[in-house]
Amino acid sequence: MKSIKLRVVNQSADANNSDIVIFQKNIAPSFDQLAVAWRCIRNLGRDCNHPFEYDLDMEVCASDSWGNYTERFNAFPGNKFSMQKDHSGDVLKQEGRSVSPKEVEVYNALDMGAVTANIYRSGKLLAAKTGIAPGQKAVFQFKPTIYIGVASQIVEGQVMSSAIMTAINTEVSLLGVASADIVMTGGGPGREATPFVFTLENVIWA
């Protein structure tokens, strides 16, 4: 599985030991749920770094109204999956192509019961769509872009509030990147504090 190697480097004057959150936005037109905190970086001291990988491939699984989770499948743009009932119970199966070659679809083919569709990147929850009723589907589409910023009381893998999503507006394009540092500057105590800035540096292109 191909991945982009990244490091968040703290060169800020932050005096509050702030948490750093990274997430992606599902840009599929029909998606109406808030973003998930994909990664949350804590206790990153000045001049320290936090390495992580951004896998180019994603995985998908579904959960049913009974609290069961299916196995994870590799999910590529253009794939369609459906939640079905077979002789063993509720299972997720890959089934043909999605309407758009840029999207991953998860369709609820059960006779009854809502399902949740979950998308993972690098083993961590990236996005989720809850309450998919029978006959409905979830659609996922992502640009090669991450959003990064400073926030508090964020739990990795959980949905963030719209206020936090609005406040975090630093968009970092990873298109064509093989590895890079994301350097955090700014911050500081009291009135002298400046906004945090995240800059892509030491880029090696693919």
Number of residues that this document lists for the chain? 206
Which tokens go with 101? 């070659």
- Of the candidates 35, 46, 197, the one whose C-alpha atom is nearest the C-alpha of residue 126 is 35
Half-sphere exposure of 63 (CA within 13 A, CB side): 12
pLDDT tens digit sequence for 60-97 = 999 999 999 999 999 999 999 999 999 999 999 999 99
Pick the CATH number of 3-55+143-205 from 3.40.630, 2.60.120, 3.40.50, 2.60.40: 2.60.40
What is the dihedral sign for C-alpha 37, 38, 43, 45? negative
Residue 45: helix, strand or coil by DSSP?
A: coil
Kindly report the pTM of this predicted structure: 0.95
Distance CA 66, CA 91 (A): 12
List the chain domain ranges: 3-55+143-205, 58-140
Nearest-CA neighbor of 160 among 39, 32, 34?
Answer: 34
Q: What is the pLDDT of residues 180-189, one digit of tens each?
A: 999 999 998 8
Token pair 């995240």 in the structure block, residue: 198
CB-neighbour burial class of residue 55 (10 A; exposed 0-12, middle 13-18, buried 19+): middle
